[in-house]
Homo-oligomer: A and B are copies of this chain.
Amino acid sequence: MDIDSFFSANIKAALKNDPPGEWMPALPENCIRLSSGYPDPALVPADQIKKAVASLIEEERDLPLHYLGSPKVPKLKQQIKGRLSERGIHVSEEEVLITSGACQAIDLIARIIIDDQTIVAVESPTYMEALEIFQNYTKHFITIPVDEHGLDTKRLEEVLEERRRKGLILPRILYTIPTFQNPTGTTMALERRKHVLELASEYNFLILEDDAYGELYFREQSIPLKAMDHESRVLYVGSLSKVVAPGMRIGWVTAAPEFITALDWFKKDIGHPFSQATMASFLERNDLKQRLPTLREAYKKKCDVLLSALEQYMPESVTWYVPEGGYFVWARVPGIDTSDLLTESLEEGVSFVPGKYFFKEQEEGTEFLRLSFSYADQKEMEEGIEKLSKVIKEKLS
């Protein structure tokens, strides 16, 4: 076998699915970015991070720049345990693993739990990066719809019942973002949360709960599944990307200790001491408990601006869910393929994410789009929605 055939044979063997297809086109300059799930630039604490680094290095010199040794690294774990207890999740040291953002956490869990025979249950639509990660390990999925009250657990139960009746393999894990879901912005109702935990117990599966947005509520906090988990079935993933800065890449997993140990064997990259110590130094100097109310208020205001603009400009046939927190509004534009719409919208200088990317079967998402109210400022959002509405109206007429 020559080296080219060798390559393609081996790379193919490693991938459980075809390589991902086309992705979002490049955004033109000065585009109004209603696509970006980034924090508001004005809310990214750049100066405070600069100061955190300066004070870290003055205090610890070379320590945070080695593989191990900065006292700030274990400190960060303590700080995250504190955050978790604010979410009603009380855990010990051995139940937490710091990761490079939520994505590494999800990938590590996939490596432990998913082989090419595993069935993964996912919400439909769901976070596209997570979907891509799972697709590196298996091609077997069960997709369960999400509505304005979150995951349709009744539908999940029907699917599980049917599979059991037919003697089919049951899913080993369910991936869910119960609070301010990406992309729909909706939140799983409390009864459904209880129901999904009962189902996990009855049908013996694990739940991967992604709580990236949980702290950014507008009115009230939702109880994470993990806080109601009495069987260690929930692997809880969180991150500081949405409330501090994604570029720092600080996330975590909370799970049973034997699970954390196994994840750690696969992690192997000794963490990111500089990034972790910088974050610990930042959190020492900037209390998240004081920072979060400001963020909640700011994003609520921005969400209201986006919703008002939608009300004002969108044709009547366009509908959307009203989120209670998070970063996103999910809209439906009946009769329009939102991938085509994006091409025209970009010509007007406005971006969004076409719905198809969030679906395992992309054709189910053609009429949907995800708008982000986190990144663009008030004026841009108003202008962006006005322009996008104009394009939609032209296409509808």
**Beta-carbon contacts under 8 Å, A249-297 to B:** 249, 256, 258-259, 261-262, 265-266, 268-270, 272-275, 277-278
Chain A interface residue count: which class?
35 or more
Q: Given A46-B62, A111-B14, A247-B66 in contact, is the A268-B133 Cβ separation under 8 Å?
A: yes
Asked if B275 contacts A3 (CB within 8 A), the reply is no
Asked if B100 contacts A100 (CB within 8 A), the reply is yes
Interface centre among A14, A49, A232 (most CB of B within 10 A): A14
For the complex, give the distance between the alpha carbons of A49 and B57 in Å.
Answer: 9
Which of A5-13, A76-84, A303-311, A357-365 sits within the interface?
Answer: A5-13
| A340 sits at the interface (CB 8 A) | no
- Residue on B with the closest CB to A106? B268
For the complex, give the distance between the alpha carbons of A13 and B278 in Å.
Answer: 36
For the complex, give the distance between the alpha carbons of A94 and B47 in Å.
Answer: 34
Residues of chain B contacted by A14 (CB below 8 angstroms): 111-113, 115, 262, 266
- Residue on B with the closest CB to A232? B3
- Residue on B with the closest CB to A50? B57
Asked if B3 contacts A231 (CB within 8 A), the reply is yes
28 A-B pairs within 8 Å (CB atoms) are namely A3-B204, A3-B232, A6-B206, A7-B232, A10-B112, A11-B259, A14-B115, A19-B262, A39-B66, A44-B65, A50-B54, A50-B57, A64-B247, A65-B248, A66-B247, A100-B100, A100-B269, A103-B269, A107-B269, A132-B265, A133-B268, A247-B272, A247-B277, A249-B273, A249-B274, A272-B272, A272-B275, A274-B275
A residues contacting B by CB (< 8 A) are 1, 3, 6-8, 10-11, 13-15, 19-20, 38-39, 41, 44, 46-47, 49-50, 53-54, 57-58, 61-62, 64-67, 70, 100-101, 103-104, 107, 111-113, 115, 129, 132-133, 136, 172, 204, 206, 231-233, 241, 245-249, 256, 258-259, 261-262, 265-266, 268-270, 272-275, 277-278
